[in-house]
Amino acid sequence: MAEVILDKAGKTYPGGVRAVEGFDLDIADGEFVVLVGPSGCGKSTTLRMIAGLEEITEGTISIGGRVVNDVHARDRDIAMVFQNYALYPHMTVERNLSFGLERRRNHRSRLRSLFSTTHRRARRAETESIAARVRDSARMLGITDLLDRLPRALSGGQRQRVALGRALVRAPQVFLFDEPLSNLDAKLRVEMRTELRVLHSRLNATMVYVTHDQEEAMTLGDRLVVMDQGVVQQIDAPTRIYSNPVNRFVAGFVGTPAMNFVEGTLDASGRLNALEGSITLDPQRFGGHVGPVVLGVRPGALRPCEPGRGWGFRLEAIEHLGDRVDLVLDRGGRQWISRVEWSPDFVEGDTLHFEPRVGEGVHLFEASESGRTLAST
């Protein structure tokens, strides 16, 4: 296993698309890091740069202490798992698992073994070791019963397990995953997520995983790297990204339902004029930021209150989630979501009052384009 370091790494594609710029990241040995961001933000390019499938045009990348800028993909000792499983259709699961290792062995030893008994013996030992690795990986992934089947006789989830197994048997220094679960149905995706976490903790392997799905990122990663337009926005543990986003982009990208935002003007006493009304925020925590601001409220922090306080909203719809409900609210044509415990007082079409509950996910951002965070509670 190995650490991976990106130092001001970047990629400009021929034709001038600057897909990734100034990417700095130290991935510790055995860490599970998830690159997450909207489509086109440069996640796959970054992963492919680590894999050696994409040449980098700025900075350096090191794996296990060695700069690999000029090292060919096959010599980087990494294994990559893709969204499309890319299994060999005419080979059994067992052969799919062993094929890569056998090819490497044959490459090295075929000629030598023709002339030497020692090499013939070594070759036999290697064949046995490949078989053992295939058996171990199959057991770890629960696909031992499928070893004789062809890929067409497998379900999507089973195929993705075989694709994982192919990476596993190689025991690489680093595992790279490019949206490996996107082709699976929702239930299976959630199951496979858990399996990947378990696999990671058993192997203690360095893993870099790409997804556009922030929920998947939150559940999988030791740390997340949130990207936008080729630039890293924030690198931190999932809970810290959620509760202390560095800017409005990160705040809006992470969390479902998404954070509610509103532009307003704040005065020194904590009064925020917004949504054709005003509310009072704790001046201790928010009062230092006088002038135009953006308020961000997590749905769970928007709570019902007495009519004399908060803002009045029309209750447009109630979405039941089992133990709680999402209330779809409207004020002046702007939609807000409140996630609360259900109450018989909620009647669609009624006007209800809500206020942000400071300390439970209320944030203040600059009203600028960067939307830097001013306060998080």
Binding interface with ligand ADP (CB under 6 A): 13, 15, 17, 19, 37, 39-45
Given CA atoms 83, 88, 90, 92 in this order, what sign does their dihedral have? negative
Helical ranges in the chain per DSSP H: 43-51, 93-115, 117-141, 156-168, 186-203, 214-220, 238-243, 248-253, 283-286
Name the residue among 301, 309, 186 with its Cα closest to residue 251.
301
CB closer to ligand ADP out of 11 and 170:
11
**Smallest distance, ligand ADP to C-beta of residue 213, A:** 12
CB closer to ligand ADP out of 47 and 272:
47
CB closer to ligand ADP out of 41 and 328:
41
Given CA atoms 211, 216, 222, 227 in this order, what sign does their dihedral have? positive
Exposed / middle / buried, residue 365 (Cβ in 10 Å: 0-12, 13-18, 19+): buried
**Smallest distance, ligand ADP to C-beta of residue 58, A:** 14
**Smallest distance, ligand ADP to C-beta of residue 83, A:** 11
Name the residue among 186, 222, 166, 354 with its Cα closest to residue 277.
354
Instruction: Count Cβ atoms below 10 Å from residue 281 Cβ, excluding itself.
Output: 24
**Smallest distance, ligand ADP to C-beta of residue 13, A:** 3
**Smallest distance, ligand ADP to C-beta of residue 117, A:** 50
Angular region, 171: left φ>0, alpha ψ -120 to 50, beta rest? left
Intra-chain end-to-end CA distance of the chain, in Å: 39
CB closer to ligand ADP out of 252 and 300:
252
CB closer to ligand ADP out of 213 and 326:
213
**Smallest distance, ligand ADP to C-beta of residue 222, A:** 21
CB closer to ligand ADP out of 86 and 122:
86
Location of structure tokens 């060999």: 88
Three-class HEC string of 5-40: EEEEEEEECCCCCEEEEEEEEEECCCCEEEEECCCC
CB closer to ligand ADP out of 44 and 247:
44
**Smallest distance, ligand ADP to C-beta of residue 184, A:** 19
